[in-house]
Amino acid sequence: MPSLGAGSLLVLSLFVFTVIAASAQSDRHENDPVKTNLSLLEGRVAEITRAILHQAGIRPGDSVTVRVDPSAERGITAATIASTLKEDSVVTYAHVDSGRAGRPLLAVTACELSVTYANMHRDGTFGNKKVSRRVFGLIVGEVTAAGSGAIVWSGRESSDWTDTVSVDEIPKIETSALPITHAELPAEDSIDRYVEPLIIIGATAVAVWLLFSVRS
């Protein structure tokens, strides 16, 4: 087998080194913690709750009765609304009783919470598999005034969150006991599926060829 010139050998060596280095770099995991789907869903409910309170004119120090229709409960709806009101110093009552005449009523009639993954891709040629994540929340309801029962707010409010997460992180960001934190993974892009193996095979072949060329 004919030996390679010094220049050609150097170029091929640099090529193999670059491929190996790129592969090693792509295997590194990001250090920034990824928010869980549950925390993001709770964040959507909290953001929506604050938007409704603002529009209804409910301020810190006020009191309000909260009623979440059973069909609107998604496992975290009522609890997250209550914790948000507590954080904002709004006194919360969970039941409509004889004292309701002295405080407004926030009635939630529908709630949609969802997580979706889309657009599976790689972060670079040798990067980890990633997906686009969307966390969506929607609340439908009304707020009626104390005493008169007049509707001071009625309608729907929504909140959206989008980011990109590593597929390897998904088991950590989903909560096994809560189905609403789970979503199906999309199929991997066909190009990404085949490009990396072909490049690795090619780099390996070049490395073997280099080995025998240097020996000869």
* Domains, in order of start, for the chain: 1-32+186-216 (no CATH), 33-181 (3.30.160)
Q: For residue 19, give both structure tokens.
A: 């491929």
51 Cβ contact list (under 8 Å, min separation 6): 157, 159
Identity at 132, one-letter amino acid code: S
Is 161 within 8 Å of 135 (Cβ atoms)? yes
CA 60 to chain CA centroid, nearest Å: 30
Better-scored residue on pLDDT, 33 or 211:
33
For residue 163, give the H/E element and its range. strand 151-166
Is 210 within 8 Å of 12 (Cβ atoms)? yes
pLDDT tens-digit map of 117-172: 999 998 776 678 999 999 999 999 999 999 888 999 999 999 999 999 999 999 99
Is 200 within 8 Å of 26 (Cβ atoms)? no
Query: What's the confidence (pLDDT) of residue 31?
Result: 57
Q: For residue 140, give both structure tokens.
A: 């439908």
Rg (CA), the chain: 28
Query: What's the confidence (pLDDT) of residue 38?
Result: 98
Reply yes or no on whether the pLDDT at 199 is more than 60. Answer: no
Q: For residue 57, give both structure tokens.
A: 């004119």
Better-scored residue on pLDDT, 87 or 5:
87
From 135, 98, 144, 129, select the one nearest 117 (Cα to Cα): 135
For residue 131, give the H/E element and its range. strand 129-144
User: Residue 15: which pLDDT band, with cuts at 50, 70 and 90?
Assistant: low
